[in-house]
Structure 1
Amino acid sequence: MSDVAISAREIDEVDREKAESVHESEDNEAQYLHGWPFVWLALALLAGSFMLALDNTILATAIPQITSDFNSLNDIGWYGSSYLITQMSLLPTCGRVYTFYNVKWTYIALLLVFELGSAVCAVAQNSVTLIVGRAVAGVGAAGLLGGAAVIVSYCIALRKRAMFMGMISIVYGIGSVTGPLIGGVITDNKRLTWRFCFWINLPVGAIGLALIWWTLKRPPPAVKAGLSKREKLRQLDLPGATILIGAIVCLLLALQWGGIVYRWSHPKVLGCLIGFILLLGIFLFLQIRDQEVCTIPLGIFRNRTVSISTTFMLFIQASMVTITYYWPLYFQSVKGTSARDSGIYLLPLCISSSIATLLCGWLISKIGYYVPFLWVGAPILAIGCGLYQLVSVHAPAGEWIGYQIVSGAGYGLCISVPILAVQVVLDQADVPTGCVMVLFFQCLGGALATSIAQNLFTDKLLRVLEDVDGVDGAAVVRAGAKDFRQVIRPDRLELVIEAFGSALRDVFWLALACAVAALATSAWMEWRKMPKQKKQEVPSVDS
């Protein structure tokens, strides 16, 4: 469950306030949309917000069935990480695109990229195609995150913006919470199947595209439209983003292959690790050489709050993504539930997280201090993850509902703090960069978590199944999380289910370790209070 779109909204509110000084000083009230054009634009951006929120969580309950259809239990990690890798790596680049090119056509182009990626996923006939489609969709998502707020700053009057961003927040929250349930209902429908989880993006996106096309008849010029084509490409830092994607892919391949597909000493695993080190070195060299256009401005990490905030976000998001992806696997593989029911059973986690995020934003706006929420939220999340170790194969609903509520509340209490902290300590000119870095590490945490969790899960499952007579562990993995019951003798089924439960407990140890690491990191956060003069610059987070 990703809060990327929520955090992106906060970044974009800062960007809008920078633009306000220009637009308001020129008294261009006439350029803003009113009446029906305002309504159509609102519907377009709300549709995009709902689509992105849904895409973050809808796949969680569909993955077990996908692994059975494609015999791809080993690829669970890639279904999430491929989307996050491209989104993370291209987030700064896509943000710059709007300063160079026509806002309307840039948004439409990136929306079409997202739709293309969704269509590729929907028609995929194998796991590799699905992973590629997710990566393409991630490129579009990276651009849509910032594009909505840029359009808002150009087209909606200042007095309406707070209300409008609140509407986006509500729609995003609804999409995030209902995503697992919608995904489960769609996956269980024999006519729709899990593929409609991707097809659904096409009509929603088409509505947004048509409304943007119709409403923005005369879009404002880009801020840096006058630069030469060569200078625009230079400032986008496409080589840096490409090398970063390559480095992260090498790392994830090594993490997923090592000890499962190949030995850690195998040339392919070692080659990926070496490739990661070399590409990372090249990337860092490029960032240091030209810091004016770099993808990651390394100098900003000299600020202690920025360094701690990004590290905390990496660990806390890794913990939550692990939980979100593997609880549906528990329900469908161990409990034998349907995809729809697994979505219903995940609601305690989603709802408690949303409520806690709202409560956190309200409390911070009242008391001004934000650091204590790191010290409260992270240990509560860790307690919840620790309680997961008590969940047995036959655990009653009361147990896992309570445990989900605890971990969801812990996550919600602290997830908004890093993005607020960097806005407090940085100069106004550096705030957008600092916030993008927090988002960057949020995506990185999710991508790494899915890969590491997959390795832990598959390794433990195969090791336990080796001790079960009459069971082919490789056949169980090939069958997937839903259909493994069909290849197991009835007298061995309970033992295999126990093996799945044991493997899942190892995964939840990872979630616990990440939550503890986040808590340890937060101890170094600077004790600061939100100054009163920044209350308008630092929006509250309301899930």
Structure 2
Amino acid sequence: MSSQDSEVKNGINDDTVHVNEAEYEDVDFIQEDVQSGVSKPLWVLIVATIMSSTFLFSLDNTIIADVQPKIVEVLGDVGKLSWLGVAFVLASSSTLITWAKLYGIFSAKWLYIGSVILFEGGSALCGGAPTMNAMIVGRAIAGLGGAGMYIGCLTLLSLTTSVRQRPNYMAFVGLTWGSGTVLGPVVGGAFSENAKTTWRWAFYINLCIGAAFAPIYFWFLPRGDPQKTIPFAAKFKQLDYLGIALNIGAFTALIMAINFGGNLYAWNDGREIALWTVGGFLLLLFGLQQAFKIGTTFEQRIFPADFLRMKIMWVLFALMNAAATCVFFVRGDPPLTAAVRLLPFICLMVFFGLLNGALMSNFGYYMPWYLLGGIFTTIGGALMYTVTEASSNSQLYGYSIIIGIGAGMFIQTSFSVAQAKVSKDRASDAAGYIALAQNLGIVLSLAISGSIFQNKALDGLQSILPNVPTEALRGVITGSGSALFNNLPLETKAQVLDAILKAMSYTYVLVIVAGSMAIIGSLFMKLERIFVTGAVAM
């Protein structure tokens, strides 16, 4: 069979939407009718159990933000502080597509349980860490398990829901993912500021939630084995070990370069240049290995490169990046204040995410959601860019609400569309592909916005306080140099605050760019209905 024939067989023809009834005659191959076999309350509990892992994964992705100062107070080793965030992101981002491939080979239930155990083990190590090194290892283990839980959640939902139902359920995944992502710093800060709980409970709480849902994991999750008749040992032979190694190596170097650049290392530092060079070289080798199927086959290669022949999959990847970027904007407030400020944004994002899922399931159209979502996020981002020290709270709430409406409209839509655009046996590949875009959106937006803020704020403060050392000015920006700030004259304080706020406004350029990407990307989509005609009667 030729490569082109294989690609058509695997459902990647961009002109064909694989959601017709005939395709789903053998629906048991990919779908398990769990819903009809259990009571409605139990089904709700099963779905809540699956989605709880997504919430914990996204929460842990950002929970470290407000916990770091307390960790350094107890464990020391401030020079390794950057690794607390990077270790989690490295382990999760570099293994997403590997997890997706594993879910296409092994039992979804047992892979999911295994990833939960990894995540809980990493959380336990973080909570009880006696040293900074132990803490970093725990974060890496939790990130590895968290990526498996997230892909497992998407896979299990694709196993137990029809194509028509899926937008609704993906909207709930978006709700849990977006809420966890935004609330991470708030929850972490709340624990770290409480003398009774301390920062360690920011990680121990994962163990409590996991233990509460454990009976559902073992007794009620669908087995979801896509290759029931193949011996367990034979399944391992299908893995693309060379591709896995190259993928992890490339992502590790590049994510370190992105996160350390401008923070731990100067952009022109030799170590930073080395990371970019090694990462780029390994990425090139990975691309060649996947393209020419070196040490693997078309079906077994780790990255679903055949998706790159589909225009729609390029667009969905880019717009998931944009959606993830739109979620990341918070001010440097105390945890409780941040929670109050974020509440309108979260509520509107959740509401429009659920509305998106319900209406897509009923009417089938997806293109208008990207267009309208892009318009709202662009307007909201542009308004936030105009914020000054004189701006009122009502303005901040109103502008954030506009961004929340826009982000909610397409925050999780790409998962449903991608899975509907490929054949039913490629659902886990599609989930991993879009999850990679989502995770990269988080990594890039945080790194870029952080770098922009730091550099712009530093430039502004150096013009106001030219005789103050650079490191002291960085302390004022991050909040650790409060003594210096408090000793400044009132007029100088006002200038410093204005410079920092102005630097913060530049980060909203990313939201404007993300919204514009959604608008432009939507114009490359077809105005078609895919969820209604492809519904499967349950």
TM range, normalised to the smaller chain? 0.7 to 0.9
Q: CA deviation at 1:300?
A: 1.7
Kindly indicate whether the alpha-carbon contact (under 8 Å) linking 1:77 and 1:450 is maintained by their aligned counterparts in 2: no
Which of 245, 252, 255 aligns to 2:255? It is 252
Structure 1 Cα separation of the partners of residues 215 and 426 of structure 2:
35
Kindly indicate whether the alpha-carbon contact (under 8 Å) linking 2:57 and 2:146 is maintained by their aligned counterparts in 1: no
The question of 1:273 aligning with 2:276 is answered yes
State the SS of the aligned residue for 2:525: coil
The question of 1:490 aligning with 2:494 is answered no
Distance change in 2, residues 1:446/1:235 (3 Å): farther
Q: CA deviation at 1:479?
A: 7.6
Kindly indicate whether the alpha-carbon contact (under 8 Å) linking 2:378 and 2:516 is maintained by their aligned counterparts in 1: yes
Q: CA deviation at 1:319?
A: 3.3
Distance change in 2, residues 1:319/1:82 (3 Å): farther
The equivalent residue for 1:236 is 239
Which of 384, 409, 415 aligns to 1:413? It is 409
The question of 1:522 aligning with 2:522 is answered yes
The equivalent residue for 1:399 is 395
State the SS of the aligned residue for 2:388: coil
Which deviates the most, 430-439 or 120-129? 120-129
Structure 1 Cα separation of the partners of residues 493 and 60 of structure 2:
29
The equivalent residue for 2:58 is 56
Kindly indicate whether the alpha-carbon contact (under 8 Å) linking 1:349 and 1:405 is maintained by their aligned counterparts in 2: yes
Query: Quick one: which amino acid aligns to residue 342 of structure 1?
Result: A
Kindly indicate whether the alpha-carbon contact (under 8 Å) linking 1:87 and 1:138 is maintained by their aligned counterparts in 2: yes
Q: CA deviation at 1:494?
A: 4.0
Kindly indicate whether the alpha-carbon contact (under 8 Å) linking 2:94 and 2:247 is maintained by their aligned counterparts in 1: yes
Kindly indicate whether the alpha-carbon contact (under 8 Å) linking 2:384 and 2:505 is maintained by their aligned counterparts in 1: yes
Distance change in 2, residues 1:425/1:387 (3 Å): same
Kindly indicate whether the alpha-carbon contact (under 8 Å) linking 1:107 and 1:147 is maintained by their aligned counterparts in 2: yes
The equivalent residue for 1:117 is 122
Q: CA deviation at 1:101?
A: 5.0
State the SS of the aligned residue for 1:488: helix
Q: Residue by residue, what CA displacement relative to the aligned partner does 1:388-417 show, whole Å, maximum 9, x if unpaired?
A: 122223532101100110001011112233
The question of 1:138 aligning with 2:138 is answered no
Q: CA deviation at 1:200?
A: 0.4
> TM-score if structure 2 supplies the norm length?
0.78
Query: Quick one: which amino acid aligns to residue 123 of structure 2?
Result: S
Which of 448, 460, 463 aligns to 1:464? It is 460
Matches within 5 A, 1:273-312: 273-288=276-291, 289=293, 290-312=297-319
State the SS of the aligned residue for 1:235: coil
Kindly indicate whether the alpha-carbon contact (under 8 Å) linking 2:123 and 2:207 is maintained by their aligned counterparts in 1: yes
Q: CA deviation at 1:309?
A: 1.0
The question of 1:376 aligning with 2:378 is answered no
Q: Residue by residue, what CA displacement relative to the aligned partner does 1:35-90 show, whole Å, maximum 9, x if unpaired?
A: 79x94x96576345235314424775762452575499999986666544433433
Kindly indicate whether the alpha-carbon contact (under 8 Å) linking 1:305 and 1:421 is maintained by their aligned counterparts in 2: no
Kindly indicate whether the alpha-carbon contact (under 8 Å) linking 1:380 and 1:409 is maintained by their aligned counterparts in 2: yes
Structure 1 Cα separation of the partners of residues 452 and 78 of structure 2:
12
The equivalent residue for 1:503 is 503
Structure 2 Cα separation of the partners of residues 114 and 306 of structure 1:
30
Which deviates the most, 506-515 or 53-62? 53-62
The equivalent residue for 1:197 is 202
Kindly indicate whether the alpha-carbon contact (under 8 Å) linking 1:384 and 1:407 is maintained by their aligned counterparts in 2: yes
Structure 2 Cα separation of the partners of residues 364 and 100 of structure 1:
30
State the SS of the aligned residue for 2:480: helix
Distance change in 2, residues 1:394/1:191 (3 Å): farther
Q: CA deviation at 1:359?
A: 1.9
Query: Quick one: which amino acid aligns to residue 374 of structure 1?
Result: Y
State the SS of the aligned residue for 1:526: coil
Kindly indicate whether the alpha-carbon contact (under 8 Å) linking 2:104 and 2:226 is maintained by their aligned counterparts in 1: yes
Kindly indicate whether the alpha-carbon contact (under 8 Å) linking 1:85 and 1:444 is maintained by their aligned counterparts in 2: no
Which of 209, 214, 218 aligns to 2:214? It is 209
Distance change in 2, residues 1:79/1:414 (3 Å): farther
Structure 2 Cα separation of the partners of residues 432 and 192 of structure 1:
39
List structure 1 runs of 4+ shifted beyond 6 angstroms.
71-78, 125-128, 149-154
Matches within 5 A, 1:29-48: 34=38, 39=42, 43=45, 46-47=48-49
Gaps (5+ residues) in structure 2?
1-20
Q: CA deviation at 1:530?
A: 2.2
Structure 2 Cα separation of the partners of residues 518 and 171 of structure 1:
20
Superposition RMSD in Å? 4.2
Gaps (5+ residues) in structure 1?
1-13, 333-337
Which of 456, 478, 482 aligns to 1:481? It is 478
Query: Quick one: which amino acid aligns to residue 247 of structure 2?
Result: L
Query: Quick one: which amino acid aligns to residue 405 of structure 1?
Result: I
**Identical columns (%):** 23
Q: Residue by residue, what CA displacement relative to the aligned partner does 1:332-353 show, whole Å, maximum 9, x if unpaired?
A: 2xxxxx3122112111111111
Q: Residue by residue, what CA displacement relative to the aligned partner does 1:86-109 show, whole Å, maximum 9, x if unpaired?
A: 334333433444565566543332
The equivalent residue for 1:314 is 321
Which of 66, 73, 85 aligns to 2:68? It is 66
Which deviates the most, 399-408 or 437-446? 437-446
Query: Quick one: which amino acid aligns to residue 464 of structure 1?
Result: G
Q: Which has the higher helix share?
A: 1
Query: Quick one: which amino acid aligns to residue 458 of structure 1?
Result: Q
> TM-score if structure 1 supplies the norm length?
0.78
